[in-house]
Each structure stands twice: as C-alpha cells, then as structure tokens.
Homo-oligomer: A and B are copies of this chain.
C-alpha cells in the first residue's frame, strides 16, 4: 500500500507531538519538518528550511500546520493551501468563520482541501457537543476544562514585572460537575465552574504581594475566577511543573420531551496536551487525504468528515469489528 506522505510545518511542542504520531502510524510516512529555525535537531532528523517548502509541492499528500492561532495560522494556512492539502488547529473561536471563508476560497482555486480547527477543543469536544445536541435536542450543554496547564494564562503571568517563570493550571470545580451529572441543569457562573492555580517564580527581591494582586485582578484572564498564587523556586518549577497535562469534560443533560432525563458525557484525561493534540491532527490528516482523493476541495471542519475516514481500517473492517 502507498503510504500517506506527511509534512509538518513548525517545530514547537505541537510539531513534536505530530512527529511522534506520524512516525508511529504505519500507513504514513514523514517527508519533512519545515521550520524557520536553523540547525534544529528533530527526533526524526528531518528538518528542512521553510524556504524550500514549495519544492515539496508534489512530494507531500498532507501538510500539518503546527503554528499558533494568533499570528501564524491565519496567514500560513491560507498560503499553504495554495500548494498542499492542509490540517490546522486554529482555535480563535470568534474568527473561525473568517478563517474558513479564506481557506475555502483559496482551496477551491488551487484544488486542494484543508481542514481547520482540529484538536480536542476545538475538535473532539466540538464533535461531542454537536452530536450530543443533535441526539438530545431538549437539553443544556456544559464544558469543563482541566485540570491542565493553560499556556495563554501562563504567558500572561510571565509578562508581569518581577516574574521569572510561571505555570497556570485551570481546575474544574468538582461540585459543579457533579451537579451537572445529577441532571439538575444548574445555572453556573464563570467563577463557579473553574478555579485557577498559579505557580510563580519571582525575581529575588520582587514585591510578591504586588505580583499576586496583579495576577488575581487581571481582566479577562483571572478577575472573574477564584485564583490562588503559590510562589516557588525554579528548582521546584522544573521538578513538579515541567509537563503539559490537560483534559476536560463535555456534558449534556436533558430530557426526551417527557419526564425521562438523560446525561451524556465525554471525559478526557491527558498526560500531554501537545502529544494528544498531535495525534488528533494526524488522524484528521488521514481523513483529509482520503477526501481529497475523492475530489473534495476547499475547506471543511470536523463536522464535515465521515468519521470512518479517520481510521486506517477499511469500511468493511470497521463494520465487522467496531460497529
């Protein structure tokens, strides 16, 4: 069987997660990892300068983009779909319709197919929210995130004067989750759903009370939450907070237009957010390859993918063993 030829663009945590997944899926072959950085040592030794990427136009079936949503992906994905079928993890919810429109237009012109907003949220959680809503129309949705490291919140703390390093954990409130599971459909405020735990290394002599105040009162990031701040030293940071675990829960509770209640829950616990996200992007690369082979072009999302295409197994095998 012809292997699916994969390229990776970007070599941060997510790029490394995709590299690991692609290298371990026997129906795929990693062609190269395209990066701006010079002399980067990749696990598979396949780094290639991003300046050469157009030379690989006919050597790659699907390019998986591993840049950030703020500045990289809105431009990179649209540029890359001119030459490649693409997968990205664009997660700025408010700008998804605009990103979709740009990708769809360019992909239809180039004859390539791209999927945007893949990962676990958006991605797997979107699939769960959508299916749960369709199967139980008369109900209410809840999403809880964590316990896990939020990179955005950690970065926000690091920008505070006097902070050397920081790690922020988003923690769901267990009693709120239990209330939802019981089927009572509670009204929950932002503060009632999650708490935020911060581990901070401060510069010697820094005013810790002032740092704490700046964190807990930071608008958008922390002001609407109960936030605890722990000051630790760099050694403890490296020993206890060096991983990127995450997870979360999508719950839907409702009735079937009768007195009968039902609760549907997707619950995921991840030791490594980037490794699992990389694995999700890789499975969707397989689906995009197959849809492209069938002549599809433009842009799609997880809602448009027949889920059987995610599997390396044939439709016959899936029906016989997984249905």
Contacts and interface: CB of A to CB of B under 8 A. Distances in A.
Contacts of A17: 256
A1 interface: no
Q: Which of A20, A96, A318 has the most CB of B within 10 A?
A: A318
Interface stretch (A60-68, A71-79, A306-314): A306-314
A210 interface: no
Nearest to A21: B256
A131 B257 contact: no
Nearest to A122: B323
A211 to B, nearest CB: 32
Report the contact-size class of chain A (Cβ under 8 Å from the partner). Answer: 35 or more
A306 B304 contact: yes
B138 A280 contact: no
Nearest to A270: B262
Given A258-B20, A322-B133, A263 B269 contact: yes
Interface string A68-95: 0000000000000000000000000100
Contacts of A315: 303-304
A263 B267 CA distance: 8
Interface in A291-323: 301-308, 310-312, 315-316, 318-320, 322-323
Copies in the complex: 2
Interface in A261-277: 261-272, 275-276
List of 6 A-B pairs having minimum Cβ-Cβ separation, nearest first: A303-B308, A134-B310, A260-B271, A260-B272, A256-B275, A24-B257
Interface of A: 17, 20-21, 23-25, 93, 96-97, 100, 117, 122, 124, 126-127, 129-131, 133-138, 181, 183, 255-272, 275-276, 278-280, 283, 286, 301-308, 310-312, 315-316, 318-320, 322-323
23 contacts: A20-B256, A20-B258, A96-B323, A117-B323, A124-B131, A130-B308, A134-B286, A134-B310, A134-B312, A137-B283, A181-B269, A183-B269, A256-B272, A256-B275, A256-B276, A256-B278, A256-B279, A262-B269, A262-B270, A263-B268, A301-B308, A303-B323, A304-B308
Given A117-B323, A134-B312, A256-B275, 13 more contacts: A23-B257, A97-B319, A124-B131, A130-B322, A134-B283, A136-B276, A260-B272, A260-B276, A263-B267, A303-B306, A303-B318, A305-B306, A306-B306
